[in-house]
Amino acid sequence: MSVHLRIENHVATVTLARPDVLNAVDLATEAELQRIWTEIEGRDDIRVVVLTGEGERAFCVGADLKNPTTTGLEYWGAARPGGFGGIALRETLNVPVVARVNGFALGGGFEMVLGCDIVVACEEASFGLPEALVGRMPLDGGMTLLQRQIPYRKAMAMLLTGRRIPAREAAELGLINEVVPRAGLDEAVRRWVDA
């Protein structure tokens, strides 16, 4: 499975489990995420969701550009309900989502972060929408959500240049709630979940 769902004490933890490719999303992962969000929507026993990536290098680097299923026009032209990973533009999820950002959050991975309610990141995390560097635009939530969450000119600078920003700068812009040392990431997420 490319995504793990664990439910414990009313907390659902959704983990992207492809650390060998920095938790990049292929078609199978996208379908599994869509299924998981639909399952969470249909349950009454979940009060909060934690979204994260497996490993220490990446939360998610977006679409798996080395996978043939995600490089063609069929993938890029496909409509993704709810935006990238099924969450960036999802309006039907009735519980808060906490992003536990443990490394790179790029492209669609950053779009997923933008779709979360609370964001906690380790100091090594970085954020960006590099689509412009390959002649594309982040159409699965990034363009819309980024401009709603930070000043317009800052958003446009990121969108048009593909520039990455470190966690501290993201916090200063208001994109994330808390930056902590990697060793304190789980404890910080627990604090937000228990709040």
* Structural contact between residues 142 and 111, judged by C-beta atoms closer than 8 angstroms: yes
- Of 138, 90, 109, the residue nearest 22 (C-alpha): 109
Is 111 annotated as catalytic? yes
| 23, 62 Cβ separation under 8 angstroms | no
Catalytic residue, from 30, 32, 54, 131: name it: 131
- What DSSP state is assigned to residue 10? T
Q: Contact, 113 vs 158, CB < 8 A?
A: no
Q: Which secondary structure element, helix H or strand E, spans residue 178, and what is its range?
A: strand 178-180
Q: How many CB atoms lie within 10 A of CB 180?
A: 18
Tokens of 169: 């700068």
Out of 111, 124, 169, 172, the active site residue is 111
Structure token digits, residue 193: 């979940």
Which residues are catalytically annotated? 111, 131
